[in-house]
């Protein structure tokens, strides 16, 4: 199975290094020297990582065969894709790969069906489940332990305990102002 692990950004310096936007929780595993990655567009790859380093908080990579700034600039916006065994699991017990979460049924703690996960959006502050409801509408569920109380891969379901108003319009209105 293929997983997107990074997007190549700007060239850095004159010796063929590029910045990368990391899109994996395991960059040391997926983006290490010797890693061979497929690309999008496919005509650019496959590419083999020659070396990597962190500079000013950004990951810089150098690929085999790319020796100058011109070659590095030609790679900009290329998506890097790793081949991953579908049976492979993340190291931490409470971590999941996107492909494990896709198509899980989402239910409330009492068993009421909410919908099915159709997309996972990775935002800077947290991840979101995009859940398609039976009527075709979508609801966004923050993937935080206060709301997503259980992921059961064997049963193919995510159990949630949402605050009022997250998945319905029954929000609790709290106001300190007196009604006049």
pLDDT per residue as tens digits for the range 147-160: 999 998 889 999 99
Which pLDDT belongs to residue 90?
67
Name the pLDDT band for 99 (thresholds 50, 70, 90).
Answer: confident
Res 31: pLDDT: 85
Residue 91 clears pLDDT 80, i.e. is over it: no
Give the per-residue pLDDT at 174: 56
Q: What is the mean pLDDT of residues 67-89?
A: 85
Q: Mean pLDDT over residues 127-134, rounded? A: 89
What is the value of pTM for the model shown? 0.58
Instruction: Answer whether 172's CB lies under 8 Å from 162's CB.
Output: no
Would the pLDDT of 171 be above 70? no
How much is the pLDDT for 82?
A: 86
Residues of the chain with pLDDT > 70, as a percent, come to: 88
Residue 158's contacts (CB-CB under 8 Å, 6 or more residues apart) are 101, 104, 105, 106, 107, 117, 129, 148, 150, 151, 152
Q: What are phi and psi of 90, to 5 degrees?
A: -60, 160
C-alpha distances in Å from residue 17, one per residue of 40, 74, 176? 19, 12, 57
Structure token digits, residue 153: 């891969």
All residues at 6 or more sequence positions from 90 whose CB lies less than 8 Å from its CB, including other chains: 25, 26, 96, 97
- Write out the H or E segment, with its range, that includes residue 48: strand 47-55
**What's the whole-number mean pLDDT along residues 108-125?**
86
* pLDDT tens digits along 28-64: 778 889 989 998 888 888 999 999 888 888 889 999 9
What pLDDT was estimated at residue 175? 55
Tokens read off for 60? 């810089």
Q: Write out the H or E segment, with its range, that includes residue 114.
A: strand 113-122
Is 178 a residue whose pLDDT tops 60?
Answer: no
């Amino acid at each position: 199975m293929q997983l997107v692990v990074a997007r190549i950004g700007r060239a850095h310096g004159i010796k063929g290094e590029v910045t990368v936007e990391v899109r994996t929780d395991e960059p040391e595993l997926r983006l290490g020297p010797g890693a061979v990655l497929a690309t999008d567009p496919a005509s650019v790859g496959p590419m083999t990582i020659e070396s990597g380093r962190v500079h000013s908080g950004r990951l810089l990579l150098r690929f085999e065969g790319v020796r100058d700034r011109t070659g590095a600039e030609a790679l900009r916006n290329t998506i890097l894709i790793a081949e991953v065994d579908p049976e492979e699991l993340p190291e931490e017990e409470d971590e999941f790969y996107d492909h494990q979460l896709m198509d899980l049924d989402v239910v409330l703690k009492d068993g009421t069906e909410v919908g099915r996960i159709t997309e996972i959006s990775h935002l800077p502050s947290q991840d979101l489940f995009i859940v398609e409801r039976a009527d075709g509408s979508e609801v966004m569920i923050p993937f935080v332990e206060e709301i997503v109380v259980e992921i059961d891969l064997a049963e193919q379901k995510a159990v949630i305990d949402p605050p009022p108003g997250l998945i319905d319009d029954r929000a609790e209105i709290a106001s300190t102002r007196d009604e006049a």
